[in-house]
A and B are shown apart, each in its own frame.
Chain A
Amino acid sequence: MGDEFVKSLEELKAIRDRMQKQVGLRESDENTIRVVVGMATCGIAAGARPVLEAFLEEVNKRNLKDVTVTQTGCIGVCRLEPIAEVYVPGEEKVTYVKLKPEMVPRIVADHLVNRQVVTEYTIGAAE
């Protein structure tokens, strides 16, 4: 909390915008895109943690609202780890496999922002 006085709507709005993202994390409304990274033992061993961190960094850098990055347990295809699943409301779930942190910026830019699935990273391409 700053010790500045809030004297205008702009100043109030500046605090709100900064906080909205933080508090917004707690509203799981239907418009939220969810990125879920598999983080069971196998995923962590395969390097899921740097992938998760890369997602967090990209999402923060681009200041995307309505996106949550979470982790989940074993998704069931350990040989393809690290895995991330992207849930865009109203669309089929997309599963990205064998992820590396370098691949994440493209998923965020193409899929989360422009809604274009990065087909070559998906489970379909790997199989």
Chain B
Amino acid sequence: MNLVRSHILVCTGTGCTSSNSLKIIEAFERELEAQGMAKEAQVVKTGCFGLCAMGPIVMIYPEGACYTKVTPADVPEIVSEHIVKGRIVQRLLHMESDEGGTATSLSETTFYKHQLRIALRNCGVINPEDIDEYIGVDGYAALGRILTEKIPPQQIIDEILASGLRGRGGAGFPTGRKWQFTHDAVSPDGVKFVCCNADEGDPGAFMDRSVLEGDPHSVIEAMAIAGYCIGAQQGYIYVRAEYPIAVKRLEIAIKQAKDYGLLGDNIFDSGFSFNLELRLGAGAFVCGEETALMTSIEGKRGEPHPRPPFPANKGLFERPTLLNNVETYANITWILNNGADKFAAIGTPKSTGTKVFALGGKITNTGLVEIPMGTPLRTVIEDIGGGCPNGKKFKAAQTGGPSGGCIPASLIDTPMDYDSLGAIGSMMGSGGLIVMDEDNCMVDIAKFFLEFIVDESCGKCSVCRIGTKRLLGLLTKITEGEGTLEDLDTIEELCYHLKSSALCGLGQTAPNPVLSTLKHFRDEYVAHVVEKRCPAGVCKNLLRYTIDPAKCKGCTLCAKNCPAGAISGAVRAPHVIDQSKCIKCGVCMDNCRFSAILKG
């Protein structure tokens, strides 16, 4: 007799696994056995809850108590207190979930309250390594209904069109139209392909990884449906090899789906067959670009080539190919099960549904969030994210990673949707959201993204290969205090040239971080160039530590601790820093108890 009354969900997403959640699972299994609870409580591995900074995460149902930063040493107490006696272990609760003493449910915390989980609906809820759990939340019901009722492909495509779903991989192209083009395209031998882009190259992004780790079947089911719609029998998931957990979960999921006959020949006795294979990418950013991705799947070097022809007509192995992003697919069965109208009612008229963001940088609650499109950036930063740590002032947020742009604090009420972000020179991107506070230098940020681009440019076209290097050179010059006002004009010219002449999206979008920081923070660039000053105090060459003689008490502490012997002065008399000796380590500033040392 099954007496399970409690489920212990342990996050085995990448973040929590690296903070040792597998050891916690072992500890739970051992303790439940030792305390005679093994029959009543079940340990379930799940995907990411989105609270990675607080990991490892353990959720216990039916109470919905969310424990954070759990260690194996905490496990005996959780079992004896929570599982045996039903007493929540307060000290391990998620920091805000005990507001008012009673809200032990995660969904009541401000972190979750503003969120709406569609793409992530099963992440942290089901065990991704058990297909039965996915079926238990209506998994494969959409595929089953479509195949057994022989719903015409056009009807499904119309439903996707009506939902307003747009690609979540970056460009935001309407998904229904893409399916229509590939459906309509004629293949010489009838062969077509369905591909999934799980390359996720944007540094700091991990939305797609979390979906694959937490709910791989939702992507598999959607790809099978896409195959049925466009007339493809073979699909490929292109996933980065640096995602070992996602790869393993996908392998398990594909095998289980095959064992059930939900992939393979004659699915649901309908005559429709669909097979799926994984292809591992070596992690080059450019391989996320659609034409490069396809040449890489073909086993060749992943290099972009000009479009047209578009993949919908001539893609993988020269056949019509549908390519969508992981998160795009993760929305499909939700739309088919709940109706296009319901999806279209979420978000804004032109950006329907939700978007998943990976919140990172200078933000209290780093992690994964899914919000209705059109949610103001302010809600994400202040409510969900809990603001910048240590009371620092929010300065800007970067969306779209190295292809995107920044949103300055003055535009914090911008709605997060495709068109509003585009209008202010940023972009939705694939979901990276990096927060910057007053201590970040915007020239330095632009330089950081450009360094990434210079490393990742495939070098096929010279505008990109040479242009990005020149841009980086100019930015470096500015951060070193050697820049001139003319350099700013040269930068802008170079940017426009790159945008218009680079072959692929990588080169075309590379100038975005530079242009948007230049647009919103021009005064900061000017301060570097004209006043030779870095207002945020980041660029070392422009940094000067000085002592305010009015505040200095002459305690000598700074002089004793300066590693360069740059500080001199008599006891009880104001000290001075010899700029030619100072190596800008900041030790003196940390030591002075009278706030007499100034940076700038």
Contact = CB atoms under 8 A, between A and B. Distances in A.
A22 B144 contact: no
A16 B134 CA distance: 8
A126 interface: no
B138 A16 contact: yes
Contact of A6 (B63, B138, B260): B260
Interface string B206-239: 0000000000000000000000000000000000
B87 A25 contact: no
Given A8-B269, A9-B148, A60-B3, A73 B86 contact: yes
Interface string B119-149: 0000001100011110111101100110010
A110 interface: no
Contacts of B260: 4-6
Nearest to B122: A23
A22 B1 contact: no
B334 to A, nearest CB: 16
B555 interface: no
Contacts of B259: 1, 3
A12 B135 contact: yes
Given A12-B135, A60-B1, A23 B126 contact: yes
Nearest to A22: B136
A57 B140 CA distance: 31
A28 B1 CA distance: 24
Contact of A23 (B1, B84, B133): B133
A13 to B, nearest CB: 8
Interface in B228-261: 256, 259-261
A76 B261 CA distance: 55
Contact of A5 (B40, B105, B130, B261): B261
A57 to B, nearest CB: 7
Contacts of B61: 25-26, 28
A15 interface: yes
A10 to B, nearest CB: 10
A69 interface: yes
B136 A23 contact: yes
Nearest to A67: B62
A119 interface: no
A7 B5 CA distance: 32
A24 B5 CA distance: 11
Contacts of B63: 28, 70
Contact of A70 (B3, B6, B145): B6
Interface string B21-55: 00000000000000000001000000000000000
A56 interface: yes
Contacts of A5: 260-261
B102 to A, nearest CB: 12
A125 interface: no
A7 to B, nearest CB: 5
A60 B4 CA distance: 10
Given A22-B4, A23-B125, A70 B62 contact: yes
Given A1-B131, A9-B145, A28-B64, A56 B3 contact: yes
Contacts of A73: 85-87
Contacts of A18: 132, 136
A22 B148 CA distance: 27
Contacts of A36: 86
Contacts of A20: 136-137
Q: Which of A4, A5, A73 has the most CB of B within 10 A?
A: A5
B108 to A, nearest CB: 10
Nearest to A70: B62
A6 B143 CA distance: 12
B86 A15 contact: no
B7 A16 contact: no
Contacts of B261: 5-7
Contacts of B6: 70
Contacts of A26: 7, 9, 61-62, 64, 125
A3 B3 CA distance: 25
A41 B9 CA distance: 26
B3 A15 contact: no
Contacts of A12: 135, 140-141, 144
B62 A15 contact: no
A52 B5 CA distance: 10
A85 B358 CA distance: 41
Contacts of A116: none
Interface in A43-84: 44, 52-53, 56-57, 60, 68-73
15 contacts: A1-B132, A15-B132, A16-B138, A22-B4, A22-B136, A23-B133, A24-B136, A26-B7, A28-B62, A28-B105, A32-B62, A44-B85, A56-B3, A70-B63, A71-B85
Enumerate the 10 nearest inter-chain pairs by beta-carbon distance, A residue then B residue, closest first: A19-B136, A71-B86, A5-B261, A68-B62, A23-B136, A73-B87, A26-B61, A72-B86, A15-B135, A6-B260
Interface of B: 1-7, 9, 40, 61-64, 84-87, 105, 125-126, 130-133, 135-138, 140-141, 144-145, 148, 256, 259-262, 268-269
